[in-house]
Structure 1
Amino acid sequence: MIIKSLILAVFICLTQQVSSQPKSSGKQPVLGVRSVKILEMSGLKFKDLNRNGQLDKYEDWRLSAQERSRDLLTKMSLEQKVGFMLISTTRMKNDQSFGPAASREPITSDFNEEDLVASQNMFTRKPLPAPIMNAAGTTKAVTQYHLRHFILRANVSARTTAEWANKLQALCEGDGLGIPAIVASNPRNHITAAAAIGTSVGQTVFSAWPGELGLSAMRDLKLVREFADIARQEWAAVGLRKGYMYMADLATEPRWQRIEGTFGENAQWAGQMITEIVYGFQGTTLGPGSVAMTTKHFPGGGSGQGGQDPHFDWGKKEVFPGGKFANNLIPFKAAIKAGTSAIMPYYSLPADTKYEPIAYAYNRAVIHDLLRTELGFSGIINSDTGPIEMMPWGAENLSIQERYKRTLEAGVNLYSGTADPANLLATVKSGMVDTKLIDDSVLRLLMEKFNLGLFENPYVDEDAAERLVGNAQFRARADLAHRKSIVLLRNEAEMLPLKPKTKVYFDVNAAKAGGTATQATSYTINDGKYPITFVATPDEADVIVLWLKPSAKSLFASDGSPIYLSLSKNSIDVAYVNSLTAKKPTILAINYSNPWVIDEIYPKATNTTAKGVLATFGTTPDALLDIVTGKFSPTGKMPFTTPISEAAVQQQKEDVPGYEEGAGYALFHYEEGLTFKIRK
C-alpha cells in the first residue's frame, strides 16, 4: 500500500511539473510509439511519422511549434486539411450517444464503427436542410475523412477511457502523416442537476467538485486554481487533452436554462474565475501536461430574449435592453489574457446592437473585427455544434456551401457537429473561398497539437490513470470545496448550528412524484458522524432539515413556452413544504441551478417556522450536514441575485445583473452570505 502511494505521489508530481517545462528545450522527450520507426541522429531520437526514412521538420521536436506546423501544412492534401477542420462526436463500442439505445451491452474501449446520420435537427426536431453526420465510425473518420479532432461523450471508467484513447492514437499514428488526435469533452468534474449531451457529462469517476456556481460561491480563487489543476491531471491521465469549457457567459437573465454552468452574474468576478480555470488547466503556456481550454460562448450567451436558448428558433435572439453588450466581454478578455487556446461563439444573433442580426459564427464584425482584431485573440475559433446545418440563425436562406463560405470569412477555424467533410470540401474546391483561410485555420490547429506535445507522445499509462483519477487526495480537496460552496442566507435566533442531541428529520429533495409525500431519502441512521439524532418522521423531530432541489424542464425539452422560476413550476410540492414548515422549526436548503423564486414557501405568512435558509450549488449531503451541525463554518457568498417574486423576474432586463436591477428586485443579494461560530 505504501509503495502504491509513493508511485501515485511521484506520478502526480511529474504531471504537475510537465506543463511548465519549456518547449524545444533540447532535451530528449519521451517518445510514444506503436507502429512507426524511430530515427536516431547524433544520439537523439525522433519519430518517422510519415515513414520516409528521413527527419522532416515537423518530426523534429527541437524546432518551434510554428516552424513544425508550417512544414506539416505543406505536406497535407486539401482533403486532409478539410478533415482536420472538423470536430465530431466519437463513440466507443456500444456507446449510443445521439442515437437510440440499440445495444444493452456495456461500453468497451473498442471502436464503434457505425456511422450515425441524423435525419432531423436533434434540438428543434425539424427536418434538416441536408443530411449531416453527427458521428462516423472511428476507423472511417480517421482513415477516409482525415478527422483528428473528436468529442468524447461516454461516461466510463478511467481505464476504459485510457485504453480507448491509446487505440485511437495508434490508429492515427498508422495513417498518412501520422498526425495524432486530440480528444475533447464537456465538463466531467461536477455535481450537476442537469447533465446532458452538449453541456456536462455529470458525475464521473473523476473527482467530484461543486457545480460551477458552487466554485464561484466559495470565493476562494486559490482553491479554484487547485481544482483546475487536479482536473487537468485527471483528464490528461486518460487522454482527454481539450476541454469544451468553461462558460464565460454571465447569469444576467435568471430564466436561462444554462445558468448552472456559469460563474454567476458579476462580469469582473467571472473574469477572475476564468483566469484561474485557464491557468489551472493549461498552465501559463500550453505544454505536454496541459488540457487546452475552449472558452464559451462568445460574446456571451446569457441574455437570450425571455430566457430562451438559441439551440432553438424561438430563442435565437440575444437582446441588450440595458445596453450591457460590453459587460459580457469582460470575462472573455480575461480568458484571452490568460491564454485560452480556443473560443466558441454561440448560436445567438444580436437583436438590438450595432452588429448585423446574424448568428455569431457568421458575424464577421463580431468574430473577426471584435474578437480577433480589437480583443487580440490569436487562438482557435471553434464553432458550437451545428451552426451550419441545424442552427443557422439569420442565414437560413443561404445554401450549405454559402454558409461555410460566410463562416470561414467570419473567422471560424474548427467546425463542430459533423463528421463528413464533403460539404466543406466542395465549398473549397468550388473556388468560393480563398484557400488561405483553410491554411490559416489548419496552422492554428496544428500549433495547438504541437504545443501539447501530442506529436511526441499522445499515449497514456493505463495503470497510472486508474490510480490517479479520483484518488483520495483529490477527493479530500473536493470535499473541502463542497463545504466552502454552501451559503448561509438566514439564521433566525441563531438556530444554526444545531445543538447536540437535536432530533432531526432530514428530507432530501421535496420534489414529490405525483404530488404525494414520500419518506426522507437520506440519513435516518447517524453512524456516529454527527452529534444529532436522525428520526424517520417529521412528528418525531425537534427540527426539520428540508433540502429542496427544484428541477426545471431540461434545456433540450424546450418548446418555446414562457419560463418561470417559481418552485411550484419547477417540480416542488409547495403544499407539502408548507405543511412541514408549519409543523416544526425548519431549516430550508435550496439547490440553486437558477435563481429560483421561493416566495411560495419563504417568506410565508406568519404560520411559517422556517428558521434558516441555505443555498447549495451541486453538492453532497455530507457537506450540507457538516454545515448544519457545525462541523464546518459556512463562508460561501451568493454568485447571483435571487428575485423576490415571479413578477420581478418577468420585468427584469435580460442583460442587466440582478444587483443593478434596482430596489425591490432581490430577496437574496449578490455576494450575500452569513457565517457562525462552531459550537464548543
Structure 2
Amino acid sequence: MIGTAAGGALLAAVALGAAGVPAAVAAPEEAAQPELESAGSAPIITVDGLRFRDLDKDGALTPYEDWRLSSDDRAADLVARMSPEERAGLLMHASLTNVGNAYDRAAFDPLLAERHITTYISRLGADAPTLAREHNALQEAAEAERWGVPLKISTDPRHGFTVTEGQTVSNGDFSPFPDPIGMGAIDDPATTLEMGRIIAAEYRAVGITEALSPQADISTEPRWTRQDGTFGSVGADVAPHVAAYVEGLQGGTDGITPDGVATVVKHWVGYGAQVDGYDSHYYYGRYAAFPGGNFAEHITPYEGAFRNQAAGIMPTYSILKDLDLGDGVIEQVGANHNEHLLQDLLRGRYGFDGVITSDWGIANDCPEACRENRPPAFFVGPWGAGMPWGVEDLTLPARYASAISAGVDIIGGSDQPQHILQAVEQGLLTEARVMEAGQRVLQQKFELGLFEDPYVDPAAADAIVGSAASRAAGLDAQQRSLTLLSDATPAASEARVARVAGSPALPVRVEPGMTAWLSGVQASAARSAGFTVVDDPADADVAIVRLADPRGGDDLTDLGFTGSEADYQALVRAHDAGARTIAVPQLTRPLILGNVVANSDAVLASYGVSDEALLNVITGAAEPEGRLPFELPSTMDAVAAQLYDVPNDSASPLFAYRAGLSFAAAPTEPTPAPTPGPGEPT
C-alpha cells in the first residue's frame, strides 16, 4: 500500500504522455494465471498465452488490466487515466438503498454512471442467494462502465444479536455469534480468529468484500452505548482479539488476500471515553475526555490491527476535549478532520498505510434542530445525518477538503463528489491529494482480486452462509460466553422450592413434567429442552427471565432497574411466586444488578445468545465459561465519580472485572450480597 510520503513520490514519478496516461510501468512479474470472470461487457483477451479481462474494451492489454503487475502499479496506472470527475467518485462511500429484498436500481444507476461511485455499503437483509444475485447485477453494471472498475461492497456487522439502526444488521442467514463483547467474555483469541474466518467466508460468498469492523474501542465509560461492539475494557486484553479478527477476515497477517475481506478498524481513537457516556452521533455528545491521563491505553488495541496490516481505519466523530499529547492541545475538531490524529499519530507514529474511511455524515450540515436533538430521538432527522463537529461553520466543499486534507481517503455515507471538485476548484484541496486517496482506494480492490473476478455463485452462497458447521461454531461460542454471576438459593427461599438453602440453582436437571415460566424466551425452545411451559409462575418449577438494558434517565444512560421496567417486573413476579428464578440480563453495557440479584436464584449474564444456547447452559448440556469483560458497578453515584478514560475504576463494584463462576465453583451463599431492594432505584 502507498503511504503519504511514498504515495506522493510515486505519483510524482508517474510520467504522463500526451494522452494523459503513464508512459511506462514496471515489468510484469511471474504470477499464476488467476480465475477470470466476465459478464460480457469486458471481453477476455489473450496475451503471451495468458488471459486478461479487457476492462477498458480497447482490445489491448492496458497496464491496470495486467494481473502480473503489483497492485500499487496497477492503481497508479488507472488513477492517472481517470478524469477529475471519475477520481472524485473514487472518494465516495455511498449507500445502497433497498426496495423490498432488492436494491433500488433507479437510485443506484445514476450514482455509478454519472457520479462514478464504486464503493457502497449494503444494509440489505435478504437471504444469501438473493444477496449474491443482487451484487452480481451491480457488478455487471460496473463492468460496463468506461474503466470497468469493480464495486467494493461493505457492511456493518451482521453476525451478532444486537441490531441498532445505522450500526449493525440482523444476522438473517449468517451464522450467529455473540456480540463482540461476548467474545471478550470468552477471552480466547483463537475463537475470535475462527469467527473471523467464518465471517470472511460468508461475506465473500455473497459478494461483500469490506467489513466496517471491528471496534477497537475500549469500554472505559460505563454509560456509553456502544460497548456491545467492543471486545472489552482493558486495552492489553482487547488487542489480541482485534488482531485475531483482522487476521481471520483478511486471510492472514500480511494484509488483504484475494479471498479475504478488508477490515475497517474503528473508531480512531478514544471513542470509549465519552463524556458522561453521551453518544457523539449527537451534538451534545461530541466530546470524549481523558481526565485520568489514560489516552495511551485507548490506542493499545489498534496495535493488534497494525501488526496484521488492517486494510482500513475509521476515525471517531468525537472531539478529544483539551487533549495534549506534548505539543499543546490538539485542534478541537472531530477526529475525521484532525490532521494531528490522522497524519501525525496514525500515519506518522504508527505507520498506518491503508485507507482511512470517514464515519458517516462528517461533512454534512447540522442545523439548529440537529444541535438541539437528544435521545430518545434518533440522531437522523429531517436534516439528514450531520456530525461535522468542530467544522460546523465551514462550507460543504471546505468540510470535504478539511477531512481529505487531514488524511481521510474516502468519505463514508456520501454520494456528493461535486464537493470534492468544488474544493479543488476553490483551491481548498489539491488534485495530487485526490489522486493519492483514489490510488489507495483502487489498490485495495486490486488486492481483493475484484479486477479479475467480482462475481459470486448464488448456489455456493446458499451452501456456505449459515452452514451447519459454522452455526455449530457460533452456538458453541454463544454458550461459552454466558457468565454465571450468582448461583445459590438463599435461606429465605428454602420453603418455596423444597431445596436446601445455599444449594446451586444451576444447572437445572430437567425431569419429566418439570414446568417453566418464561419471559423473553420462546416457548418452543423451552419445550425442546424438555420443559412443560406454564402461564402462571406460581405453577412453575423454574422461571427464566431475560432482562434488557433499562436505558434509564433523561439521556438513557442510567444503568439500574428502577422497578418500572416490564422485564424487571416479570422477574419480581416469578421470584415472589416461588419459582426457581433465573435472571438473564443482556450486558450491552455494565448494568447495575443489585436488585436483580436480590430477586433471583441465579444470574446468568448474556452478551447476545439464542434461546437454544441459553437453555443448553441452564440445563447443563453446556458449561458457561464467560468472565466479565468489564466490572459491574454498584450505584449510579459510583458511576458518576469514575473517570471516563480509565477502565474498571468505580468504587465498590458489585462484580469485579473478570468475575464469573463455573457450575462446579458455585458458592454456598449468594455472591455478592444484594444491594438495593426490589424495585428500589439505584
- TM-score, reference length from structure 1: 0.84
Q: Structure 2: how far apart are the matches of 1:308 and 1:249?
A: 15
Is 1:153 the equivalent of 2:95? no
Query: Secondary structure at 2:305's aligned position in 1?
Result: helix
Task: Assess if the C-alpha contact under 8 Å between 1:306 and 1:562 holds in 2.
Answer: no
User: What do you get for the CA RMSD once the two structures are aligned?
Assistant: 2.1
2:450 aligned with 1:445, yes or no? no
2:201 is aligned with 1:233: yes
Q: Which runs of 5+ in 1 are unaligned?
A: 1-22, 95-105, 114-136, 510-519, 554-558
Q: Of the candidates 358, 370, 374, which is equivalent to residue 345 of structure 2?
A: 370
| Structure 2: distance between partners of 1:157 and 1:571 | 35
Q: Structure 1 pair 504/249, CA: closer, same or farther in 2 (3 Å)?
A: farther
Aligned residue in 1 for 2:548: 549
Deviations 1:576-609 (A, max 9, x none): 422322332322221111111122333x4xxx5x
**Do structure 1's residue 199 and structure 2's residue 200 form an aligned pair?**
no
The 1:580–1:197 alpha-carbon spacing in structure 2 relative to 1, beyond 3 Å, is closer
Task: State whether residues 637 and 673 of structure 1, in contact with CA within 8 Å, keep that contact through their aligned partners in structure 2.
Answer: yes
1:216 aligns with 2:184: yes
Residue 308 and residue 560 in structure 1: after superposition, are their counterparts in 2 closer, same or farther (change >3 A)? farther
C-alpha change, 1:442 and 1:564, in structure 2 (3 Å) is same
Counterpart of 2:576 in structure 1 is 582
Q: Distance in 2 between matches of 1:370 and 1:548?
A: 41
Determine whether 1:629 maps to 2:619.
yes
Shift of 1:678: 11
Task: Give the SS at the match of 1:613.
Answer: strand
1:591 corresponding residue in structure 2: 586
Change (3 A) 1:25 1:288: farther
Per-residue CA distance 1:152-190 (angstroms, 9 max, x = gap): 111001111111111111111110111111000001111
**Alpha-carbon deviation of 1:24?**
6.5
Aligned pair 1:295/2:291, yes or no?
Answer: no
- 2:67 aligns with 61
Q: Deviations over 1:614-670 (max 9, x none)?
A: 100110111111111111122111111111112222222111111x33x41x11121
Counting aligned pairs with the same residue, the percent is 32
For the 8 Å contact 1:153–1:197, the answer to whether it is kept is: no
Matching of residue 168 in structure 1 with residue 138 in structure 2: yes
> How far is the alpha carbon of 1:312 from its aligned partner?
0.8
Whole-angstrom distance in 2 between the partners of 1:678 and 1:310: 42
Does residue 1:77 correspond to 2:71, yes or no? Answer: no
Moved more, 646-655 or 532-541: 532-541
Alignment of 1:224-303 (within 5 A): 224-284=192-252, 285-303=255-273
Partner Cα distance (1:463, 1:210) in 2:
27
CA change 1:570–1:482 in 2 (3 A) is: farther
Q: 1:639 aligns with which of 629, 641, 656?
A: 629
Once residues 47 and 55 of structure 2 are traced to their aligned partners in structure 1, the CA distance between those partners, rounded to angstroms, is 15
1:321 to 278, 291, 299: 291
Within 1, Cα distance between the matches of 2:179 and 2:525? 26
One-letter code aligned to 1:112: R
Cα drift, residue 500 of structure 1: 4.0
The 3 A distance-change label for structure 1 pair 240 and 143 is: same
> 1:361, 1:412 within 8 Å by CA — same for their partners in 2?
yes
SS at match of 2:429: coil
**For each residue in 1:53-92, what CA deviation from the matched residue of structure 2 results, as whole angstroms up to 9, or x when unmatched?**
2111111101111111111121111111111000010124
Higher mean Cα deviation, 433-442 or 183-192? 433-442
Q: Distance in 1 between matches of 2:233 and 2:564?
A: 22
1:670 to 2:657 alignment: yes
Q: Distance in 1 between matches of 2:472 and 2:525?
A: 25
Cα distance, 1:466–1:562 mapped onto 2, change above 3 Å: closer
1:351 aligns with one of 306, 313, 321: 321
**Structure 2 counterpart of 1:305:** 275
Deviation (angstroms), 1:535: 3.7
1:28 corresponding residue in structure 2:
33
1:396 aligns with 2:392: yes
Cα distance change of structure 1 residues 574 and 39 upon mapping to structure 2, 3 Å threshold:
closer
In the alignment, which residue of structure 2 is the partner of 1:178?
148
Residue aligning to 1:49: 55
Q: Which one-letter code corresponds to 2:398 in the other structure?
A: E
Q: Distance in 2 between matches of 1:33 and 1:524?
A: 46
- Equivalence for 1:14: none
2:105 to 108, 112, 117: 112
Distance of aligned partners of 1:152 and 1:580 in 2 relative to their CA distance in 1, 3 Å threshold: same
Aligned residue pair count: 594
Q: Displacement of 1:196 after TM fit?
A: 2.8
Aligned-pair CA distance for 1:534: 4.2
| Shift in CA distance, 562/320, structure 1 to aligned 2, threshold 3 Å | farther
Classify the secondary structure of the residue corresponding to 1:547: strand
- Helix, strand or coil: the match of 2:93? strand
Give the residue type in structure 1 aligned to 2:583.
L
Q: CA deviation at 1:405?
A: 2.2
Q: Verify: 1:336 aligned to 2:306, yes or no.
A: yes
Would the alpha carbon gap of residues 570 and 620 (structure 1) be closer, same or farther in structure 2, given more than 3 Å must change?
A: farther
Give 1:569 deviation, angstroms: 8.0
Note the C-alpha offset of 1:391. Answer: 1.1
Question: What are the superposed Cα offsets for residues 131-162 of structure 1, whole Å, 9 maximum, x if unpaired?
Answer: xxxxxx21111110000100111100111111
Q: Distance in 2 between matches of 1:26 and 1:560?
A: 61
SS of residue paired to 1:343: strand
Cα deviation for residue 395 of structure 1 reads: 1.1
Post-superposition shift, 1:40?
0.7
Q: Secondary structure at the match of 1:255?
A: coil
Q: Which residue among 473, 480, 486 is the counterpart of 1:484?
A: 480
CA deviations over 1:485-516 (Å, ceiling 9, x no partner)? 1111112222221234283424233xxxxxxx
DSSP-derived class of the 1:568 partner: coil
* Unpaired runs of at least 5, structure 2: 1-27, 325-329, 365-385, 489-502, 667-682
Aligned to 1:120: none
The match for 1:601 among 596, 601, 605 is 596
On the 8 A contact 1:552/1:570 being kept in 2, the answer is: no
Deviations 1:551-587, CA, capped at 9 Å, x for gaps = 538xxxxx97362111238844544422322332322
Paired with 1:326 and 1:524, the residues of 2 have a C-alpha distance of 46
CA distance in 2, matches of 1:153, 1:439: 29
Is contact 2:583-2:596 (8 Å) kept?
no
Higher strand proportion: 1
